[in-house]
Structure 1
Amino acid sequence: MKKNGKIANIGLINYVDLGKIIIKAKEEGKTAVDFKAIEDIMPWDEFVSSINETSEITRPKEYNSLDLIAEKYSTLRKYTPRLLKILEFKASKKGEPVLKAMETIKELNANTKRKVPKGAPLDFVTNQWEKYVYDQEGNIDKKYYELAVFTELKNAVRSGDISIVGSKQHKPFEEYLITDSEWEKYKAENTDFKVSLDAEEYLKARLDLLNNKLKYVSDNIKKLKGVSIEDNKFVLSRLEKAVPDEAKELATKLYSLIPRVNLSDIIIDISKFTAFDNNLIHASTNKEPKDNERSCITASLMALGTNIGLKKMEQAVKGISYKQMSNVVNWRMSDDNMEKAMAAITNYHHRQPYAVHWGDGSTSSSDGVRVKSAVEALNASYNPHYGLEKGVTMYSAVSDQYSRFGVGIINTNSRDAIHIIDILLNHRTELEIEEHYTDTAGYTDQVFGLTHLLGFRFAPRLRDISDCKLYCIEGKEDFRNIQSVIKGKINTKIIKENYDDILKPVSSIKEGKVSGSLIMGKLGSYSRQNSLAKALTELGKIEKTIFILDYLSDEDFRRKIQIGLNKGEAMNALARAIFFGKYGMFHEKDIQGQLQRATALSIIINSITLWNTMYLPKAVEKLKEKEGVDESLLRHVSPLGWEHINFIGQYNLDDSSDYNLIDNMRPLREILQ
């Protein structure tokens, strides 16, 4: 978008320059220009006006956002004096220049001075800001000086170079971590580290592996399936479609046998099988729900998970009032309770014998669904990829068995992958995830490094392999068949110097002292200056290169990642179908309200997944009575089908269904002749 704006601006400048030459030529009576040809298109006066008007809206050829920011200075001034009065800041050595400049602004505010004094702090001014902060006479422009100060303040607070006294999110970096004494004790007492505590030992093992994989790819590049090098870049062939047509036909037949039900029926059934709603402990009485409360819990879950809200749900069910549901939502549906309820269904599903058709629960994927915000929510923001409306991202993780085990609300411009660490470490389920897949946009070198140190294999889909960079230690000539695609060397020196400092935040994350997303956000914001961030980046280059080499070497691995991500995308499609109320938009201003709806949605999705998983094997057995079933196709039949489920209309919460008394299961439909 920025690039297109600059191209358009240059085009306008060229139009103005050309027009001025033509106008001048006519004024001077030159005849080399065919003025009549121009006047055939538009009258001469209009042409002159067009050039003059266009000249007024053009900007300098090298313009950027800073050329426009001064227009917002008056808006900023409404808040910044008060901000500086109320908040107290502390700075590390790197943040001191910005802190001193802030004191200068406070003095200007107090004395209502219009000019920045000579000798004002300028060490913080970056090259980007320099040509704006100084005017043509070399004086300091007060507007741009303040704008530069507050921009650098934002960057310094984000990185941790400046902290806000009393803030939980913007403390000095060291305060997020376990103390040095705790760290030494942790190293001495814990034996569950996923990597060696010795830098030399760690590097030897990983670099030997890296060199072996580089050699393998170099020696076998012409034999690797679907891989080639063109114009010094890797090229991958497209994978064949993951689901054969025969599996789609089988899925249609199986789902035609599964009972038609309302959404409320599924939640009632899953409550009976799993007792997930026993986790919704009352915040005041500390008691589980009574049997006569479960209908109200079902209605409340559907009200939140479908996004129609409590008032609409009151009209869709009989005998349950808005007040009753509001009481359940406020007193029973806390974040902690809802996570436990979601996990109870996931665990029950994990124990189902039929679930092994899709995986063993050791791999997972994550993806985000953008949800527009209908109100001015503090965490909502714009994203140019999603139009002109603000929104947030509902971010979730799904196991290879099609069950959700984590969900969160994140900024719509945030990198997805920095948040998955928190879900992988803190979910409440029995799943033991070893390998995790994300889409292309979700990774950085640091994410590769951190996930490896925490014991997870991070495996993003690489949509454009040609943009990926391989790294080696030294002597890329040793890998002559691929040396053209090896772009750099790994700085092992900085890893050795900072290895202990890298492991300390890793252990702090594992111990729950700090979230992985917060640490990654801090390190990612000052990677050019901070040795710890640089060291983690270099370590991540090792892990990323190992992953890319595996990705190139093994077509089955690429397909496995693709299948894992397809499961998440299929679940997102189901989520959109369920979350139909209020045009699928959030009307909650706070993140707690948004997360409550997202978790209710996840409980409903898991209920559908489990319900289908319990009925699919019965449908298979019934279909076998009529025809043969190729069981190798069953892994392609997803438990996310919803054609047999009614999401809208009136909901019957009476437990009066026609059950088979042997196993509490509803009767299947008959096979169509």
Structure 2
Amino acid sequence: MLEAVLFLRALRGAKAALVPERMAQQQPGPDGEPVTVTLSIDVEAFASGMWRKILRDKKRPGMLVRRHLEVCVFSYLAAELRSGDIAVAGSDSYANLHDQLMSWQECQPLVAAFCAQAGIPAAPGALTAYYRSKLAEVAAEVDAGYPGNTDLLLEGGRPVLRRRKGAERRPSALALEAAIHERLPQRALLDILTRTAYLLRWHRHFGPASGSDPKIRDAMGRYVLTAFSHGTLLGPTQVAAHMRGRVSVHELSLAGNKHTTASKIDAASVDVINAFNQLDVAGVWGDGKTAAADGSQIDTWDDNLLAETSIRYGGYGGIAYRLVSNTYIALFSRFIPCGVWEAVYLIDGLSKNASDVQPDTVHADTQGQSLPVFGLGALLGFDLLPRIRNWHDLVFYRPDEQVRYQHIDSLFGEEAVDWKLIETHWSDLLRTAISIRENKLSSVTLLRRLGNHSRKNRLYRAFRELGRAIRTITLLRYLSEPALREQITAITNRTEAFHGFADWLMFGGKLISHNDPDHHEKVVKFNELLANCVIYSNACDLTDATNALAAEGHPVDLDDLATISPYITHTIRRFGNWTLNLTPPDQAPATRLDLEPRVLFGASPT
């Protein structure tokens, strides 16, 4: 690789379309006199087969396409630098990943409890035996159940799943939704923020960095307007202009810049999440044990350190990456660049979720998974069950090279999981996972290092091997369990719906007109706080309307109620006269459902 870099440096002034693989060059010798040296490049040593096809010209043997060669060498150089196989002289003065890990002596007393919490054996031999038997058991069950699996076909050795028609909502559910929506009150968006601030006091986390009481008039009103201006992306100027002298641009800017941080906004959102989790209707929607992670693109200014062109989303800017519970509430949000693999931030969102809702099963799309993430997720005690694009092209790994299956053998490649490698590096895997759990090492820092470019890294290879076993088990379950496929589709669609709901609330524009990364992070988190406050308010109104229906003699089926989303927009007034009403609510909202369960909704008797 280093010889290839020297070869390119010698070609800095070249303009020809093709260059030879070997060339002579004059260079100063030890005594200062010029000497002739022969420079060569061996693309076979580092370039993949696909690269070699476009680097060579069939009509000109011994020649390489110069432009393609430059892109190839620098892309491989970047990968080698990320993995640490090539280092810049003097770079050892910067943070070393391995220095951030806890020592094995520090980890040993924590191993038993850590493994018990994750539900895995603590001994290396028992661990590999556990996952080997689990993989073999799942594969044998899928093979035995293949004749009865009407959804799975093997065409030319490639798995094909028949599409299932989604379950349609029952007429009783549609009637219930219409009846509830008729009884929902109209609320102004600013009134919703004020009401939730009175009820939940989420604004108490905001204030000066000194920790002293803020010396401002109507602190709650000021912080409500700050959340409103940033969460909607209107900005302090627009909000102040429409408040008719009630607040100035300086006052809103001061509160947003000096009295709020990303961690304070997270703490405010946790208050809303915990209060929402106490509602009976939240338990109807889900148990909170399942969540989905996904990103949504947000535009920023072009001259920005984090801004990039997103091929996936077709825009320029960054990504609002969110973790959304199966109860519809957002658990965590952060702003990330477009060019990163989103799976890098998945575990970070789980570890920084400080609310009472702690999921142990996480769904995602293709961007939310990778082999190291599968392995690390298993060690940290949660199931990663993503919706993977082109999953039928992935390799299924055998529990043992000699194992063969009657029906599904064509799914598997010839490779088996290298259990010996996992067992050998078991202490390294545990050190890494425990260091992340104890907040000694950021999962983002680790997973950015453990990408596909880290093939020579022993820690990457160990996580990759464990991830191969976990991913194969997950894919086999995906093929054989229709309920799992429906669950993945439902929760990922729910996350997409949250993106749409949050974007609808961001009606001040789709461009973050600021270059400060901290400001980007605040906007995304304020938008999450705003969305969660509206979801909580809608859930309370749904509870009141449902109880009113039951009191009028209309029985309600909880299964029908579970199909009604709190992402309701037609009752929320975003525009018009914005008035900050600081009058306390007349009464606390109802949090309990007073219903007769398991009875279909129907018209009242006449």
* Length-normalised TM-score, structure 1: 0.75
* Aligned-partner residue type, residue 290 of structure 2: T
Q: Take 1:182 and 1:216, find their aligned partners in 2: how far apart are those partners?
A: 41
- The answer on whether the counterparts of 1:370 and 1:392 sit within 8 Å (CA) in structure 2 is yes
Structure 2 partner of 1:182? 106
1:28-59 CA deviation, whole Å, 9 max, x = no partner? xxxxxxxxxxxxxxxxxxxxxxxxxxxxxxxx
Number of aligned positions between the proteins: 564
- The answer on whether the counterparts of 1:165 and 1:171 sit within 8 Å (CA) in structure 2 is no
* Aligned-partner residue type, residue 379 of structure 1: L
Structure 2 partner of 1:198? 123
1:287 aligns with 2:207: no
* Aligned-partner residue type, residue 80 of structure 2: A
SS at match of 1:433: coil
Structure 2 partner of 1:459? 385
Structure 1 partner of 2:23? none
Q: Take 1:259 and 1:638, find their aligned partners in 2: how far apart are those partners?
A: 16
- The answer on whether the counterparts of 2:3 and 2:41 sit within 8 Å (CA) in structure 1 is no
> Which one of 68, 83, 87 corresponds to residue 159 of structure 1?
83
- The answer on whether the counterparts of 1:161 and 1:172 sit within 8 Å (CA) in structure 2 is no
Q: Take 2:92 and 2:567, find their aligned partners in 1: how far apart are those partners?
A: 40
| Larger proportion of helix | 1
Q: Take 1:504 and 1:397, find their aligned partners in 2: how far apart are those partners?
A: 26
Displacement of 1:477: 5.5
Displacement of 1:652: 1.1
Matched ranges for 1:291-370 at <5 A: 292-318=218-244, 319-370=246-297
SS at match of 2:137: helix
1:163-215 CA deviation, whole Å, 9 max, x = no partner? 56898996443233223443445548866552323221011111111111111
1:221 aligns with 2:146: yes
* Aligned-partner residue type, residue 420 of structure 1: L
Structure 1 partner of 2:595? none
Q: Which has the larger radius of gyration?
A: 1
Structure 2 partner of 1:504? 431
- The answer on whether the counterparts of 1:448 and 1:544 sit within 8 Å (CA) in structure 2 is yes
* Aligned-partner residue type, residue 177 of structure 1: L
Q: Take 1:248 and 1:116, find their aligned partners in 2: how far apart are those partners?
A: 84
Structure 1 partner of 2:460? 533
Mark the CA change 1:122 to 1:281 in structure 2 (over 3 Å): closer, same or farther. Answer: farther
Displacement of 1:663: 7.0
Give 5+ residue unaligned stretches, structure 2: 13-27, 593-603
SS at match of 2:465: helix
Mark the CA change 1:225 to 1:348 in structure 2 (over 3 Å): closer, same or farther. Answer: farther
1:91-117 CA deviation, whole Å, 9 max, x = no partner? xxx999979999999xx9xxxx99996
Displacement of 1:284: 2.9
Matched ranges for 1:538-553 at <5 A: 538-553=465-480
Structure 1 partner of 2:22? none
- The answer on whether the counterparts of 1:160 and 1:173 sit within 8 Å (CA) in structure 2 is no
SS at match of 1:202: helix
- The answer on whether the counterparts of 1:375 and 1:588 sit within 8 Å (CA) in structure 2 is no
- The answer on whether the counterparts of 1:243 and 1:636 sit within 8 Å (CA) in structure 2 is no
Mark the CA change 1:149 to 1:210 in structure 2 (over 3 Å): closer, same or farther. Answer: closer
Displacement of 1:118: 4.7
> Which one of 554, 562, 578 corresponds to residue 627 of structure 1?
554
Mark the CA change 1:562 to 1:122 in structure 2 (over 3 Å): closer, same or farther. Answer: closer
Give 5+ residue unaligned stretches, structure 1: 1-93, 666-670
Q: Which moved more, 1:373-382 or 1:471-480?
A: 471-480
- The answer on whether the counterparts of 1:95 and 1:156 sit within 8 Å (CA) in structure 2 is no
Q: Take 1:410 and 1:286, find their aligned partners in 2: how far apart are those partners?
A: 32
Displacement of 1:633: 0.7
1:493 aligns with 2:420: yes
- The answer on whether the counterparts of 2:194 and 2:581 sit within 8 Å (CA) in structure 1 is no
Q: Take 1:287 and 1:564, find their aligned partners in 2: how far apart are those partners?
A: 41
Mark the CA change 1:307 to 1:455 in structure 2 (over 3 Å): closer, same or farther. Answer: same
Structure 2 partner of 1:470? 396
SS at match of 1:270: helix
Q: Take 2:36 and 2:289, find their aligned partners in 1: how far apart are those partners?
A: 61
> Which one of 438, 458, 482 corresponds to residue 364 of structure 2?
438
> Which one of 532, 539, 559 corresponds to residue 613 of structure 1?
539
SS at match of 1:338: helix
Structure of greater relative contact order (alpha carbons < 8 Å, 6+ residues apart): 2
Mark the CA change 1:660 to 1:168 in structure 2 (over 3 Å): closer, same or farther. Answer: farther
Q: Take 1:249 and 1:552, find their aligned partners in 2: how far apart are those partners?
A: 35
- The answer on whether the counterparts of 1:361 and 1:401 sit within 8 Å (CA) in structure 2 is yes
- The answer on whether the counterparts of 1:498 and 1:535 sit within 8 Å (CA) in structure 2 is yes
SS at match of 1:221: helix
1:230 aligns with 2:150: no
- The answer on whether the counterparts of 1:382 and 1:390 sit within 8 Å (CA) in structure 2 is yes
Matched ranges for 1:59-98 at <5 A: none
> Which one of 447, 450, 467 corresponds to residue 376 of structure 2?
450
- The answer on whether the counterparts of 1:282 and 1:332 sit within 8 Å (CA) in structure 2 is yes
- The answer on whether the counterparts of 2:293 and 2:364 sit within 8 Å (CA) in structure 1 is yes
Structure 1 partner of 2:196? 270
1:475-507 CA deviation, whole Å, 9 max, x = no partner? 566421111111242122222222222222222
Matched ranges for 1:10-21 at <5 A: none
Mark the CA change 1:420 to 1:165 in structure 2 (over 3 Å): closer, same or farther. Answer: farther
Matched ranges for 1:383-462 at <5 A: 383-387=310-314, 389-462=315-388
CA RMSD of the aligned region, Å? Answer: 3.8
Displacement of 1:568: 0.6
* Length-normalised TM-score, structure 2: 0.83
Structure 2 partner of 1:48? none
- The answer on whether the counterparts of 1:397 and 1:404 sit within 8 Å (CA) in structure 2 is yes
Displacement of 1:555: 1.5
1:239 aligns with 2:164: yes
- The answer on whether the counterparts of 1:159 and 1:522 sit within 8 Å (CA) in structure 2 is yes
Q: Which moved more, 1:123-132 or 1:256-265?
A: 123-132
| Larger proportion of strand | 2
Structure 1 partner of 2:183? 257
Q: Take 1:98 and 1:197, find their aligned partners in 2: how far apart are those partners?
A: 46
Displacement of 1:393: 0.8
- The answer on whether the counterparts of 1:115 and 1:142 sit within 8 Å (CA) in structure 2 is no
1:220-247 CA deviation, whole Å, 9 max, x = no partner? 1121253332332222232332561533
Percent of aligned pairs with the same amino acid: 23
Displacement of 1:574: 0.4
Mark the CA change 1:481 to 1:594 in structure 2 (over 3 Å): closer, same or farther. Answer: same
Q: Which moved more, 1:482-491 or 1:119-128?
A: 119-128
Q: Take 2:146 and 2:589, find their aligned partners in 1: how far apart are those partners?
A: 59
Q: Take 2:259 and 2:409, find their aligned partners in 1: how far apart are those partners?
A: 60
Displacement of 1:263: 0.5
* Aligned-partner residue type, residue 269 of structure 2: M
Structure 2 partner of 1:209? 134
SS at match of 1:599: helix
Structure 2 partner of 1:63? none
* Aligned-partner residue type, residue 158 of structure 1: R
Displacement of 1:572: 0.8
Q: Take 2:325 and 2:202, find their aligned partners in 1: how far apart are those partners?
A: 19
Mark the CA change 1:385 to 1:150 in structure 2 (over 3 Å): closer, same or farther. Answer: closer
> Which one of 573, 577, 580 corresponds to residue 646 of structure 1?
573
Displacement of 1:290: 7.1
Q: Take 2:562 and 2:92, find their aligned partners in 1: how far apart are those partners?
A: 46
- The answer on whether the counterparts of 2:121 and 2:130 sit within 8 Å (CA) in structure 1 is no
* Aligned-partner residue type, residue 542 of structure 1: A
